[in-house]
Structure 1
Amino acid sequence: MPDPRQLERTDTTLQVDKTPAPDVIVPPVDQWQQKTGFTILDTSFGAGNQFLATWQAWRDDAQRPQRLHYLGLLPNPASLTELVDQHVAWPKWATLAQELRAVWPTLVPGFHRLYLAQNSIILTLMIGDSDQCLRQITARIESFFIHGEGPRTWPPALFARLNRLAAPQAKLTIVDLNAGKQSVLEQAGFVFEKTASAENINDSADFTTAGIACFSPRWQTNFPHAHAIPSRSHAIVIGAGLAGAAACQRLTLRGWKVTLIERHAQIAQEASGNAAGIFMPVLSRDDNPTSRLTRAAYLFAHHVWQGLGGIGNAFSGARCGVLQVARDAVHEESQQRWAQQANLPPDFAQWLTQPDTSALVGTAVSHGGWWFSGGGWIHPLSLCEAMLKACGDRLQTHFGVAIHELVKTSNGWQVSDNKGKVIASAPIVILANGMEALNLCHASALPLTAIRGQVTYVAAESAPKITPVLCGDGYLTPESNGMHSLGASYDEDNGASLRQKSQNENLARIKKILPSWDVDPDNLPLAGRVGFRCVAPDRLPLIGALPDPMAKSQLREPQLKDMPRLSGLYGLLGFASRGLIWAPLAAELLAAELNNEPMPVEAELAAALDPARFLLKAQRRNQSK
């Protein structure tokens, strides 16, 4: 580490490009050149003028990094209309501004990951309180842009926290610097160059200027989330359903080579094999982690699907909207009161009264409900096909091959069949094969349960003609290929055959939503499909490095980061009945972890998905006895 006192003395007065927008910090071109990836944190994204200037500089630089991660704090997000009005003032960035508006997120709290510039620029917008968002970032920042209204009122502790994100020699450019801020940043390990205006500062000085600093602390730094990236970017993915296909797509997008192994002769033959799956977020009054995660997953899935070519184009389905009808009159009244207080964006969720729901559907609906205009249904198999097609020649597939043994070697892992033949070897193995993962000794202790789900197929002439998806305790999709899908049962048994009892229950649930539907279950043929969901005790997926069940942390009060792991073995498991929306975000989270990239969700939400969470709870319980 270089001695901060020996850093080259340069003029660190902030360079600002006054045209066409004020307060644009000169992008760190000299820092990012010839790097594979580079990460920037912008404390005041606003309408994106700093981002657009950085994007333009990246485009103009022949030695630009292959991937540019740009994290922007957005405590007060602008609407699309407001963006248009502000972007008019920046004609030199008109094309880039239009591309930004095309992916502008739904304005709900949380982290929003967006891909631009043919997937080379990854923008993560963080909507919410800046203090809370900064606490939730998992990233190694190489350049900080500290500007805008927010940092002017930040408490000193917030500036001090930046060193937890800083990569070695990270550059920090700050507007509106004063003596107090400089002192806090210096104590945090940022070394400022002397400037004329900063020559004689003291603790009580109250000057306003700008400065540039380098993160070069006198102490040893250790980024807790970093790990060694394999020299060979090659992964084996086991399972060709939604989880496995998404893993292949997100890894090959980053240049990885992927070997996909599937025991069936075709893709999507297990839980991903239904004729139609619905996609929608989950709402809760307290905006609990499940709601926040499903919201992030739902919105990111839309973004990924659009990048693949869109619903109804690249794969079968329809963004026809989903109407979630209240269970009963009490639930209806409660939800309507909450809707008036929640003030959710209409393009995300909107409460409709019973007359409005009936008018929307075209027939009598039992109660009012939530209208998700962006929801709909998808044919999962066709989506899997689209994701695997996007992998191109970086993907190698093996179908009709059952995994018998997974062996750790000095170079990674070997996968063998029941005859002992090595099918593939790689530094990384990802288990995306649902309940089949428990057949492998390394994953056999994971707390996963198979839940039977029977979907009923009803001919179009036997069901109401509806446009949106209807759901409550069950769901009914619009007609596709002459058939509606109703579902799904939630049975704790392993019966693989269709049964009349489950079909009658599916029909009864829909009749509660559509009381005028005159249907006699005895006159309908027994038709549908049985699948088995892979479910964890808390109904959340298991995403990330798998724990070592034979080892335990030696710390008295361990954290998730302290739990021993099976090096190179990862899971994408436990998607339950929401595989459509879980798959893209789960695969993105895992790919970011493997590449030491910024995480696409808040740290506490990523922790809620960590496969070691159950083992950690068990260890804590045992220690408390």
Structure 2
Amino acid sequence: MTDPLIPAVLAFRDNGTPFSPLYDDIYHSAVGGLEQAQYVFLRGNQLPERWQGRRVFTVLETGFGMGINFLTTWAAWRADPARCERLHFVSTEKHPFTQADLRSVYAATISDPAIAVLAKTLAAEWPMLVPGTHRLEFEGGRITLTLVFADAMESLPALRLRADAFYLDGFAPARNPDMWTPAIFKALARLAGEDATFATYSSAGDIKRALTQNGFVYQKVDGFGWKRAMLVGHFAPRWRVRRYEPPAPLEVDERHAIVIGTGLAGCAAIERLASRGWRVTSLERHASVAQDASGNPAGVFHPMISRDDSVASRVTRAGFLYALGRWAALERLGHPPLRGAPGLLQIAADDEEARSMSEAIAAFGYPSEYVTPVSLSEAQRLAGMSLANSGWLFPHGGWIDPASLCAAQCATAGDLLDRRFGVEVARLERSGNEWTVFDTEGRAVARAPVVIVASAHDAARIAGLQHAPTRSIRGQLTLLPPGTVPPLGMPVMGIGYAVPLTDGVTLTGATYELDDPDASLRRDGHLENLERVAQMLPPFDGIVDPARAAALAGRVAFRCVTSDRMPMIGNFADEAASTRDAQRLRGAWPLDLPRVHGLYGAFAYGSRGLVWAALGAELIASQIEGEPWPLERDLAEDIDPARFLLRALRQSTVS
């Protein structure tokens, strides 16, 4: 179970230097934080020279603190005309500052005007203080800051990246020994790219030994300010120190990808690839985007709260926060999707659920901007009507028009996107370094080195997967005309949901019918939706005469789900090769499996496409580009399309 996040306490020494009362140590030298960052970490890692001419360069830092090292690195990147195309800065932090304290410490300590502008930008984008991985983008996506709010002992082994430079900047070993253990350095060795460099303010003997034991070569050099010495060096192991190599970019002749499907999953993939300069060909069997489940008039989005902070909760939390950032970016680019005002209310099924969820929210220490329990009276005030029970409020949850989101994502791709509609994809074939996509008439319709299959129910068939247990869930929505029910103050959900749309229509739903292919509207489906909503919202009881329910408007769509209700996101495994080598792979881990070169999946999102699609697309784009993954490796493995093959191998049922 995830530990609650405890923020840092802002304090200053008499000389104005910020320090941590918890560790009784300063965040930077009294001589100057910016100067220390420049001398120790940039100069110590031979930057900016080493990133020049590179497409992607990745810095990994242990201990984000105030973010001074990141800000200084960002400023150096901006000032360098030969800078790398994309700079990734990944940092762990067990006790992050609150946004207010971050602004305060910047105002008190940063005098450089150029750095102050960057600090203001960072503080404005500072994430909610909830555990996990947070990805922020600056400079149009060319600077990516990945913050991992967790204990470094747990978070560093969970990272998946190839580091080019290490900033080892935890509090002093004597003050915070947990940041300098052999296990920490072993984790760093797993992530080091070829000739990765490091620098650290410290020069303690234990650190030298840990570096040497894990394949790093160090050199003692003059320290910064009053410090006599510090350490710099590089990764040069004389023996094998890791089982798996860090991720590398996919080798392709051309940065061109085919995306099959233009629902939430496919359009998010288009946007994320195009943002990196990829040319994308989209293939869609319908005449326009978002025609299947993504074509519903609105969908609700919110995090998932569970008593044990389950895998589904963690993935949904990461996806929800990342999606909010991407949607805000679309708005800044002039492509705003249609969505309602912020705020979504979840109603407890009974008093016991209300009590247990309130206890879980308190135990995890979630900030009120993420989720907050609300009493029955407060919930009724927010909803604008009587309710059956209390619940909890997601201040940044709400509803969005999925089709408008898909359109916005495609619009940002501009000329990099070639749209092709009315294409019914039948199969894929690889020849040389390219994939060829064939339609149902046997015609080759597109060729590219990379294919992303984002076509929901058809994905497993198109990709030729045998180990992808997906099923179809029929969902019928009900649309209530204006004036049918009292106006809701915000979306309300629980055993059903009710959403007040901008035109006065109220959307309710949705039924959940397994393997039912009937696409026609049913009277009983409308009545079922209204009955469930009425259990949460008593004013909805009896609002529609059952005899007239058949005349209500609505929509039927089909959700694609897996047997474990988690999505399928990432590089497909080579099932044929795995079958041939089944005996050896019986005890395999995900990184042991052979993978299909250039073939990825993004499907089986069920009813959580709005919160999973953007993060899933970012994960796939990061895998293709060899960039740091946007979420922890164990979570990526829980949504890996190969997980069902892996289970079959372990159970010796592969044939």
Any conservation in 1 of the 2:193–2:246 contact (CA below 8 Å)? no
> Aligned pair 1:539/2:565, yes or no?
yes
> Following the alignment from structure 1 to structure 2, what is the Cα–Cα distance between the partners of residues 344 and 516?
32
The answer (yes or no) to whether the contact 2:260–2:453 under 8 Å persists in 1 is yes
Deviation by residue 1:452-503 (Cα, 9 ceiling, x = unmatched): 0101111121022012110001111113223111111110111111101111
Deviation track 1:133-157 (CA, whole Å, cap 9, x = no partner) reads: 1111111111111113176413222
Aligned to 2:7: none
Question: What's the TM-score once normalised by structure 1's chain length?
Answer: 0.92
| Aligned mates of 2:357, 2:327 — CA distance in 1 | 30
Q: Which runs of 5+ in 2 are unaligned?
A: 1-27
- Alignment partner for residue 234 of structure 2, among 214, 224, 227? 214
Which runs of no fewer than 5 residues in structure 1 stay unpaired?
1-14, 198-206
| Alignment pair present for 1:557 and 2:587 | yes
Give 1:254 deviation, angstroms: 0.7
Decide whether the 8 Å contact of 1:453 with 1:533 is kept in 2: yes
2:366 is the alignment partner of 1:344: yes
Whether 2:306 is the aligned partner of 1:284: answer yes
State the alpha-carbon separation in 2 of the partners of residues 150 and 589 from structure 1: 34
Counterpart-to-counterpart distance in 2, 1:475 and 1:311: 31
Q: Choose from 435, 439, 460 the match for 2:457.
A: 435
Counterpart for residue 160 of structure 2: 138
Q: Does 1:386 align with 2:412?
A: no
1: CA distance between counterparts of 2:402 and 2:222? 63
Given that residues 348 and 494 in structure 2 are in contact (C-alpha distance below 8 angstroms), is that contact kept between their aligned partners in structure 1?
yes
Whole-Å separation in 2 of the counterparts to 1:273 and 1:623: 38
Q: Which moved more, 1:521-530 or 1:503-512?
A: 521-530
Aligned mates of 1:212, 1:340 — CA distance in 2: 43
The alignment partner of 2:540 has SS state of: coil
Question: How big is each residue's C-alpha offset from its partner over 1:340-376, in whole Å with a ceiling of 9 and x where there is no partner?
Answer: 4333100000000111101111211111101000001
Q: One-letter code of the match for 1:513?
A: M
Q: Secondary structure at the match of 2:475?
A: strand
Aligned residue for 1:96, secondary structure, equals helix
Task: Pick from 106, 110, 132 the counterpart of residue 87 of structure 1.
Answer: 106
Deviation for aligned residue 1:507:
0.4
Candidates 113, 121, 136, aligned match of 2:135: 113
- SS of 1:391's equivalent? helix
**Pair 1:31-2:50 in alignment:** yes
Q: Does 1:59 align with 2:81?
A: no
Match of 2:629?
A: 599
Equivalent residue for 1:229?
Answer: 251
SS in 1 for 2:601: strand
Code of the residue aligned with 2:602 in structure 1: it is L
**What is the CA–CA distance in structure 2 between the aligned matches of 1:582 and 1:196, rounded to whole Å?**
48
Structure 1 CA distance for aligned equivalents of residues 352 and 215 of structure 2: 57
Give the CA deviation at 1:411.
2.3
Residue of structure 1 equivalent to 2:22: none
List per-residue Cα deviations over 1:396-430 (Å, max 9, x = no partner): 11001111232121122101223332211011111
* Partners of 1:534 and 1:573 within 8 A in 2: yes
Match of 1:589 in 2: 619
Q: Superposition RMSD on alpha carbons, in Å? A: 2.2
The structure-2 alpha-carbon separation of the partners of 1:595 and 1:377, relative to structure 1 and needing over 3 Å to count, comes to: same
CA distance in 2, matches of 1:593, 1:606: 11
Give yes or no for contact 2:618–2:630 (8 Å, CA) kept in 1.
yes
Does the aligned pair in 1 maintain the 2:340–2:502 contact within 8 Å? no
Shift of 1:39: 0.4
Aligned length: 602
* Counterpart pick for 1:608 among 631, 638, 644: 638
Alignment of 1:523-538 (within 5 A): 523-524=548-549, 525-538=551-564
**Residues 438, 556 of structure 1: alpha-carbon distance in 2 compared, 3 angstrom cutoff:** closer
Q: Distance in 2 between matches of 1:306 and 1:361?
A: 25
Q: C-alpha distance in 1, partners of 2:298/2:654?
A: 47
Q: Among residues 299, 314, 326, which one is paired with 1:304 in the alignment?
A: 326
> Using the alignment, how far apart are the partners of 2:172 and 2:486 within structure 1?
53
Give the residue type in structure 2 aligned to 1:168. Answer: E
One-letter amino acid of the counterpart of residue 201, structure 2: V
Task: Measure the CA separation in 2 of the matches of 1:191 and 1:559.
Answer: 30
Identity across the alignment (%): 39
Match of 2:146 in 1: 124
Task: Determine the C-alpha separation between the residues in 2 that align with 1:230 and 1:17.
Answer: 49
Cα deviation digits, residues 546-604 of structure 1 (max 9, x gap): 22333324334111122233322110011000111111000000000001100000010
